[in-house]
A = this chain, B = another copy of it.
């Protein structure tokens, strides 16, 4: 007989990977009960991973457990928040204890690393669907938002772009890599949220976002929310060897510009605070790349090494469609 919802949850997700003092009541009642310290704001984000849309059907469940939490923590990172609690709504085609064991291992391991406590969930039967909501805390007024960029701000990213997209192309046999090393695959399946650097940028960055849908789309969100535009220098985009080779071979910039799934942060700072941002980021384990500047004209422009505007096809707008 299939496990009931209650049995599934209690068996796999009640081993407290973290026990936080601000959790008055965790899994097991109608609601979890939580304490938010005075003077702190609560940051909340929810994200869903759907089989065949966000990951191939044969994806390792341990990496799925990791990634489902990681993509949510990445949203907290982009606000500069410190993670606290998570909930998990898991829809599974059937009760598979091997799958669940691996999934919860991946989830719990990342949760432990950032002191995130799983406080509630719902397990239902149906086509595989993984929804995680995360809750983080940060001092009132200190959040990094999308709407604060100003003309003249310098734009930085926290790491190489396009690796996850390249790994996906390789897994789908659409591109043959010189070397498909485990590091590249990790970038797709085990992304690490940039929490430390996000937190370190509070009070310095004027706007921030995490790159889940691709640099152009996500920087576009900052530009739109802030009522500004941006100009990027392609030569300054941080690229891994694999992505650099792909761009050189194909002339196609879609991987670093539009593929997404990298979960690096993109943010803007006033020029006077550039070195401060660099210093803070380095201490958080992260080398920044300064890729462009916020300007007045709406839209995102990409300049080649010859100062030419990159054409739309090479930007890859049609390659990747995010449902």
Contact = CB atoms under 8 A, between A and B. Distances in A.
A8 B282 CA distance: 38
A127 B124 contact: no
A213 to B, nearest CB: 8
Contacts of A127: 126-127, 129
B33 A146 contact: no
B24 A34 contact: no
Contact of A30 (B29, B38, B146): B146
B124 A323 contact: yes
Contact of A41 (B33, B41, B51, B119): B33
Given A29-B79, A38-B38, A145-B29, A44 B119 contact: yes
A30 B138 CA distance: 14
B46 A133 contact: yes
Given A46-B89, A48-B124, A136 B210 contact: no
Interface in A20-41: 24-25, 28-36, 38, 41
A31 B79 contact: yes
B323 A46 contact: no
A36 to B, nearest CB: 4
A36 B33 contact: no
Residue among A29, A54, A129 with most chain B CB within 10 A? A29
A90 to B, nearest CB: 8
Given A4-B322, A127-B127, A145-B25, A122 B32 contact: no
Contacts of A286: none
Q: On chain A, which size bracket covers the interface?
A: 35 or more
A38 B38 CA distance: 5
Contacts of A45: 30-32, 120
A50 to B, nearest CB: 4
Given A126-B53, A323-B125, A43 B47 contact: no
Contact of A52 (B30, B41, B126, B146): B126
B50 A42 contact: no
21 contacts: A6-B221, A25-B145, A28-B146, A30-B78, A31-B43, A31-B44, A31-B78, A33-B44, A34-B41, A34-B42, A35-B42, A46-B87, A46-B88, A46-B122, A46-B131, A48-B124, A51-B126, A53-B124, A53-B125, A89-B131, A126-B127
Given A30-B78, A48-B89, 14 more contacts: A24-B41, A25-B145, A31-B43, A33-B143, A34-B41, A44-B87, A46-B89, A48-B122, A50-B91, A50-B125, A50-B129, A53-B126, A122-B131, A126-B129
Interface of A: 2, 4-6, 24-25, 28-36, 38, 41-54, 75-76, 78-79, 81, 85, 87-89, 91, 119-122, 124-127, 129, 131, 133, 135-136, 140, 143, 145-147, 208-210, 221, 225, 321-323
What are the 10 tightest A-B residue pairs by CB atom distance, in nearest-first order? A125-B323, A50-B126, A127-B127, A31-B43, A36-B36, A30-B78, A30-B75, A89-B131, A34-B42, A38-B38
